[in-house]
């Protein structure tokens, strides 16, 4: 017999940072794209800016945004709806490039043998998805973080190498590209080497190159990018040609964290109306490290005497202003909304939308089938309604990996507060409830780390269950926690059907 459920409204909020127009001696950090977007890349084509960023282990792959002013962005689509055949996970550092009517995306992913490589895809219309052309750079144990730039008539690509090679310093390598941008042309050459005795002790990566006043300037990031122990920072080097020699700025690093944004780095510089800007990521202090890295925009200043770029007073953070927006999905139409993401490493999620309902299937394993969105604020409330019984567990869920999540769900006549930590599933509290009129579930998140769950059988009277629960296990080194819904099978699988309750 087909079971029917009605689900929900999830509320999330945009987090933004803004302050007054900067003076030359100040740095302004403004979040311009809500939610999580690590390693952002940006280009300008005919007056329109396009940006993308890492997907990590979440599909669809590499979201694309567009803007006319670098500050107001609109979601467009993804580079890939399906993962390229040669890949398995770790979808990192996509870099957009445009030449002669063609958009390119140079991206990092792990091949089926687990080695990270750089692939390339292209399209004539960025709003219609990309065609993958496969691997363009395979380099020993790892090749990541591609960046493409043009100098005169020549195309160049740079990348990070030796990050996993014992006894060899992490190095940024370069090579010419073929005219069509789809293959290397000639021998590789050394661009920049990490200095283990300096602030670069954790390595260098995430480079971006611009040309100004006869110099090539390379903004690059160093140290640990991610997680609770991150210490990411940004430095700069310059040269007359791609082959160098490259000179590192004596006053590096030029961009470090402050009380509002931690571990800034891995961005792309772009020009707008004569001024240079840097789009990069940083962790919001509120919710750190559970919430992921956000895309920030800062204007680049230039030293009038030496010509070096600078961000000046890194400690200035201003008074953050939060822009709030509710997210609601009533599952109208026949396609899943673009906000919803799935964990690639947990396997395929079978989900479809039809007649105002979402049908989510659980397999026979103990791993919840999960769809989620990026929480955009450390303090937020999420709500869902589940109607009717099922032998599978349908939950309002906070999820970081296939082995680490937290939720409140309904299974049969039981309400279950549960935690999945290190792959071990544990019911924290269970309660028999009357499901004849449906059960509404609510979660309040504080600081991105503390959670309080409650339920209601009439939509008016709410009862808390489990007290305050700490979510230390919901932090991951490479991506942020997601909030959403899950279906967990009872050993035989099953499905849930969800629809908006109001």
Q: What confidence tens digit (pLDDT) does each residue in 35-48 have? A: 999 999 999 999 99
Q: Which is it for the CA torsion 446, 448, 449, 454, positive or negative?
A: positive
Given a cut of 50, is residue 24 above it in pLDDT? no
Given a cut of 70, is residue 25 above it in pLDDT? no
74: domain CATH number is: 2.115.10.20
In a domain, 272, yes or no: no
pLDDT of residue 97: 98
pLDDT of residue 328: 87
Residue 393 is encoded by which pair of tokens? 């567990």
Distance, CA of 162 to chain centre? 24
pLDDT of residue 500: 57
- pTM over cut 0.85: yes
Domain C-terminal end among 193, 220, 250: 193
Q: What confidence tens digit (pLDDT) does each residue in 290-341 have? A: 999 999 999 999 999 999 999 854 434 443 544 346 888 888 888 889 999 9
Q: How confident is the model at residue 357 (pLDDT cuts 50, 70, 90)?
A: confident
Write out the residue range of the structural domain in which residue 185 sits.
Answer: 39-193
Domain C-terminal end among 193, 211, 245: 193
Q: For the chain, what is the mean pLDDT? A: 89
Q: 348: Cβ–Cβ under 8 A, 6 or more apart, which residues? A: none
Query: For 368, which DSSP code?
Result: P
Q: 136: Cβ–Cβ under 8 A, 6 or more apart, which residues? A: 106, 118, 119, 120, 146, 157, 182, 183, 184
Q: If we measure between CA atoms, which residue out of 30, 480, 419, 468 comes closest to residue 289?
A: 480
pLDDT of residue 392: 87
Q: If we measure between CA atoms, which residue out of 453, 341, 322 comes closest to residue 13?
A: 322
Q: How many domains does the chain have?
A: 2
In a domain, 84, yes or no: yes
pLDDT of residue 26: 55
* Beta strand residue intervals within 194-331, DSSP E: 204-212, 215-222, 233-239, 247-248, 261-272, 275-284, 294-299, 301-302, 309-310
Segment 459-465 mean pLDDT: 94
What 3 state SS string does 39-92 have?
CCEEEEECCEEEEECCCECEECEEEEEEECCCCCEEEEEEEECCCCCCEEEEEE
Q: State the pairing for strand pair 73-80/61-67.
A: antiparallel
pLDDT of residue 162: 97
pLDDT of residue 129: 95
In a domain, 209, yes or no: no
Regarding predicted confidence, which is higher, 240 or 360?
A: 240
In a domain, 365, yes or no: yes
pLDDT of residue 321: 45
Q: 390: Cβ–Cβ under 8 A, 6 or more apart, which residues? A: 3, 5, 410, 411, 412, 494, 496
397: domain CATH number is: 2.60.120.200
pLDDT of residue 30: 85
Tell me the backbone φ, ψ of residue 346, rounded to 5 degrees.
Answer: -90, 0
Segment 160-168 mean pLDDT: 95
Given a cut of 80, is residue 432 above it in pLDDT? yes
3-state secondary structure of 473: helix
Q: If we measure between CA atoms, which residue out of 113, 170, 104 comes closest to residue 138?
A: 113
pLDDT of residue 210: 97
Report yes or no: 207 and 158 within 8 Å, Cβ to Cβ: yes
pLDDT of residue 437: 82
Q: How confident is the model at residue 259 (pLDDT cuts 50, 70, 90)?
A: confident
In a domain, 294, yes or no: no
Q: Which is it for the CA torsion 477, 483, 489, 495, positive or negative?
A: negative
Q: If we measure between CA atoms, which residue out of 20, 52, 127, 12 comes closest to residue 281?
A: 52
375: which strand partners? none
464: how many CB neighbours lie within 10 A of its CB?
12
In a domain, 15, yes or no: no
In a domain, 394, yes or no: yes
Lowest mean pLDDT among 227-231, 309-313, 357-361, 473-477: 309-313
Given a cut of 60, is residue 367 above it in pLDDT? yes
Burial of 452 (0-12, 13-18, 19+ CB in 10 A): middle
In a domain, 333, yes or no: no
Buried b (16+ CB within 10 A) or exposed e, 142-153: bbbbbbbbeeee
Residue 215 is encoded by which pair of tokens? 């110099």
Q: What percent of the chain has pLDDT over 90?
A: 75
Domain C-terminal end among 169, 193, 217: 193
pLDDT of residue 322: 42
């Amino acid at each position: 017999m087909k079971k029917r459920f009605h689900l929900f409204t999830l509320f999330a909020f945009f987090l933004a940072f803004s302050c007054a127009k900067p003076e030359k001696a100040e740095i302004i950090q403004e979040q311009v794209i809500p939610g999580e977007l690590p390693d952002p890349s940006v280009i300008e084509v005919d007056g329109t800016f396009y940006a993308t960023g890492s997907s990590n282990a979440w599909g669809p792959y590499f979201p694309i945004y567009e803007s006319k002013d670098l500050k107001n962005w609109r979601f467009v689509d993804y580079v890939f709806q399906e993962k390229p055949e040669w890949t398995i996970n770790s979808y990192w550092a996509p870099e957009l490039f445009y030449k002669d009517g063609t958009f390119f995306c140079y991206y990092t992913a792990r091949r089926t043998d687990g080695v990270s490589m750089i692939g390339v895809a292209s399209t004539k219309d960025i709003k219609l998805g990309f065609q993958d052309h496969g691997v363009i750079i395979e380099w020993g144990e790892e090749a990541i973080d591609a960046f493409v730039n043009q100098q005169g008539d020549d195309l160049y690509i740079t990348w990070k190498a030796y990050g996993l090679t014992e006894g060899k310093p992490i190095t940024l390598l370069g090579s010419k590209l073929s005219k069509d941008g789809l293959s290397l042309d000639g021998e590789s050459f050394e661009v920049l080497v990490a200095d283990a005795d300096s602030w670069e002790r954790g390595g260098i990566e995430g480079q971006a190159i611009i040309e100004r006043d006869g110099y090539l300037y390379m903004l690059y990031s160093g140290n640990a990018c991610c997680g609770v122990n991150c210490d990411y920072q940004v430095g700069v080097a310059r040269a007359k040609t791609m082959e160098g020699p490259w000179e590192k700025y004596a006053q590096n690093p030029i961009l470090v964290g402050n009380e509002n944004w931690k571990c800034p780095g891995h961005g792309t510089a772009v020009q707008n109306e004569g001024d240079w800007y840097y789009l990069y990521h940083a962790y919001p202090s509120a919710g750190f490290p559970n919430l992921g890295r956000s895309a920030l925009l800062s204007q680049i200043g230039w030293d009038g005497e030496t010509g070096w770029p600078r961000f000046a007073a890194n400690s200035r953070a201003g008074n953050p202003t939060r822009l709030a927006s509710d997210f609601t999905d009533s599952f109208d139409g026949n396609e899943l909304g673009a906000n919803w993401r799935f964990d690639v490493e947990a396997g395929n999620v079978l989900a479809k939308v039809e007649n105002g309902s979402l049908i989510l299937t659980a397999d026979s394993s103990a791993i919840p089938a999960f769809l989620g969105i990026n929480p955009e604020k450390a303090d937020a409330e999420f709500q869902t309604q589940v109607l009717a019984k099922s032998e599978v567990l349908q939950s309002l869920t906070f999820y970081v990996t296939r082995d680490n999540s937290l939720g409140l769900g309904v299974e049969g006549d039981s309400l279950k507060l549960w935690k999945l930590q290190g792959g071990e599933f544990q019911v924290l509290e269970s309660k028999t409830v009357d499901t004849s009129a449906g059960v509404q579930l609510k979660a309040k998140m504080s600081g991105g780390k503390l959670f309080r769950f409650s339920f209601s059988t009439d939509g008016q009277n709410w009862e808390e269950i489990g007290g305050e629960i700490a979510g230390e296990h919901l932090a991951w080194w490479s991506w942020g926690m997601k909030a959403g819904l899950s279906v967990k099978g009872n050993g035989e699988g099953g499905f849930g059907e969800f629809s908006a309750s109001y």
